[in-house]
Chains A and B, each alone.
Chain A
Amino acid sequence: MINWRRVLSVMRKEWWHITRDKMSFFLLIVSPMLILITFGYAFSIDITNVGIGIYDQDLSPLSRRYINQLHSTDALRLEAFPENMQDVDRLLMRGDVKAVVIIPRGFARDLQSGDTAAVQVIVDGTNPNTAGHAIQHIGAHTENFAAKQMEAQLRRAGYTASLEAPIDLRIRPWYNPSLRYTVSMIPALVGVVLAVPAMAASLALSREREWGTLEGLIATPIGRFELILGKLIPYVLTGMLSVPLCVLTAVYLYNVTFQGSFLLYMLLALLFLFATMSIAMLISVFIKSQQAAIMASMMIFLFSGFFMSGLLIPFALMGPLLQMEALLLPTTHFVIISRSIFVKGAGLTELRGFAIALLGIGILSFVLTSLMFKKKL
């Protein structure tokens, strides 16, 4: 019963609309990349080079060695050397340093005599992320330094045994060995921004309603399935152009290695765009004005995309109700797909479940759209 010639004709007409309307063209092709570029920076900052201050009251060769140990990696940067507590206060208050290490008088003496030496660290807790980073790295360096001191003392006392822990714990993070935040966030963000082209599709019907062209169209024998399909396909295909743009941005701007198959990524992105755009069409059936349709699709694809897809809040931490909602959202599935292909190089076998979910959401929304759309005013 479907007249494919009509479907093709609607497709060609929609293609003309898309290419002749700058707004649609921008939303479909360029905007995902722009959002990725701007938001990417906000999401991808791996914390390094946190500025700290050292208040060295001991001024001994040993305290000097300890300080050298602290900035032996680029995790911490020696920013200031306050000489009294007022300076310490001022530096922290102004935010010049995120932590101050205070080495008390007698540090070297205590160490050499085998007593426990005290070191105080004052941390700016305003931003728990940088504070945590400073604590972690100051702690690690201090333990390292203490271990070396202990070895040296034992050697002096005539023991030759080296200090080896009874359990040799070796942690090797696979896929992202340096545990870079960027490597995890950018591929997920690509998944979220690729939902933006669907916002253009949500205008497909409401625009014709506002133009008044829909009234003429429903008075013709065109089938509603033909109309919806003819509108959907050009949007999905045009939206596909934004996929390589986003992947290239991730790889070349954010230095995220693309481990998996690009072909598979394109294939699953096609399913993802089909699912999001079918939802957008469904919105377009119910919401009459273009503005309201844009607002509704923004809520679904941008806000829910950011907060419910597992991009910011891990899926496992969501409540059961929220999890159910998140599973209905195509973005949730595609964020996992995008991360897995980018970082792990996962194949179709591992991702089959998510692919089926996307296909299911797409078909369901498409069928609902075709059924809900009535050729009546």
Chain B
Amino acid sequence: MPQNCCFSVDWGRVTAVSPETAIIETENLTKMFKDVVAVDDLNLQISKGEIFGLVGPDGAGKTTTIRLLVAILDPDSGWAKVDGYDTVREPEPIKSRIGYMAQQFNLYGDLSVWENLNFFADVFEITGQERSERIERLLNFARLNEFRDRRAAHLSGGMQKKLALACTLIHTPDIIYLDEPTTGVDPVSRREFWDILTELHLDGITLFISTPYMDEAERCSRVGLMNDGKLIVCDRPEKIKRMISGELITLWPSDMRRALPLILDLDGVLEVQTYGDQLRIFAEDAAEIDSRIRDTLSEASIDILDMRRTQPRMEEAFISLIQHQRVEAEEAAS
């Protein structure tokens, strides 16, 4: 498993990362909370204009990573640079160049949409004609124009997220960090939110997004998978999907519980993941194993409701990669 994979892969259509164009850069970045290592030896390089997705389960260290990168948390060791500025020694220049949308709704609920935007415009020293123009533009952009006088606390979840995004954009930052921006948002608002993010991406803004959703990860130009504070893999989505070894078969057996151990025992099966009533089987040779699965299950008188070759998605890839990391960690411990 490549640990510092970001240095060694071919970026394809994404601009090649060199220290000159890396807008976010970390080296051995580590943050501990008492005995827990929240971020473990993180090495990351993100180039200008990327949509970088940080994916991983809850507690993987995504939020801590973002907090380290927006310079509101200091690392225990290692360093991070944003736009060339060190997050510990020069946090203030960083803060005027970035926008940060925290996971928790962090606007003033007792202030109206317009008052919130206005306040952040003042904080970022946007004045005069420019200020009113930008506020109008952002209200349209976030589709909040008709809610300008509504208190932020009385907006729906999706609208609150859009307002928060608008507030982080008021000073036209070079980089925006979004910590799980669509968690708890309905699918329609989520799609709309991503349309907005795509527009920003096309404007050349660097986006750093953490998300637990795999479909969102697929929309990023590059994805880093985090687990237990470690960056397990970091690459373009299609490359990550190709990282899992073997071919994928999806099987719907009539009796999941009995079928699972039988299939795990078969030679040539690399890995089995369960999804509701389905088994996702990774095998060295899908065509070859097909008949053996049929034989084994009919011997045990388990019916096959359906079985077909499928393309691995991000989700299978991540579960596979996380499982491999756990096994490795256990082996290293013993």
The chain A residues found within 8 Å of chain B, CB to CB, are 3, 5-6, 8-9, 12-13, 16-17, 20-21, 211-213, 215-222, 375-377
Say whether B125 faces chain A, with CB atoms less than 8 Å apart. yes
| A residues in contact with B202, CB < 8 Å | none
- The answer to whether A213 and B107 touch (CB under 8 A), given A376-B73, A377-B67, A377-B73, is yes
Kindly state the separation between the CA atoms of A211 and B104 in the bound complex, as whole angstroms.
9
Minimum C-beta distance from B20 to chain A (A): 25
Kindly state the separation between the CA atoms of A82 and B119 in the bound complex, as whole angstroms.
78
Kindly state the separation between the CA atoms of A170 and B317 in the bound complex, as whole angstroms.
101
| A residues in contact with B91, CB < 8 Å | 375
Kindly state the separation between the CA atoms of A211 and B160 in the bound complex, as whole angstroms.
14
B101-134 interface mask toward A, CB cutoff 8 Å, 1 = contact, 0 = none?
A: 1101111111100010011101111010000000
Name A13's contact: one of B71, B92, B102, B111 (CB within 8 Å).
Answer: B111
| B residues in contact with A17, CB < 8 Å | 108, 110
Query: A221 to B92, Cβ gap below 8 A?
Result: yes
| A residues in contact with B167, CB < 8 Å | 216
- How extensive is the interface on chain B, given as a class? 20 to 34
| B residues in contact with A9, CB < 8 Å | 118-119, 122-123
| A residues in contact with B124, CB < 8 Å | 220-221
Query: B109 to A211, Cβ gap below 8 A?
Result: yes
Query: B72 to A218, Cβ gap below 8 A?
Result: yes
Q: Which 8 A-B pairs have the closest CB atoms?
A: A9-B122, A216-B106, A212-B104, A219-B100, A221-B96, A212-B106, A20-B110, A221-B95
Name B106's contact: one of A211, A222, A376 (CB within 8 Å).
Answer: A211
The chain B residues found within 8 Å of chain A, CB to CB, are 67, 70-74, 91-92, 95-96, 98, 100-102, 104-111, 115, 118-120, 122-125, 127, 167
Query: B95 to A219, Cβ gap below 8 A?
Result: yes
| B residues in contact with A219, CB < 8 Å | 70-72, 95, 98, 100, 102
Minimum C-beta distance from A135 to chain B (A): 60
| B residues in contact with A13, CB < 8 Å | 108, 111, 115, 119
Minimum C-beta distance from B184 to chain A (A): 14
Query: A213 to B108, Cβ gap below 8 A?
Result: yes
Kindly state the separation between the CA atoms of A8 and B91 in the bound complex, as whole angstroms.
24
Kindly state the separation between the CA atoms of A97 and B120 in the bound complex, as whole angstroms.
70
Minimum C-beta distance from A222 to chain B (A): 5
Query: B70 to A5, Cβ gap below 8 A?
Result: no
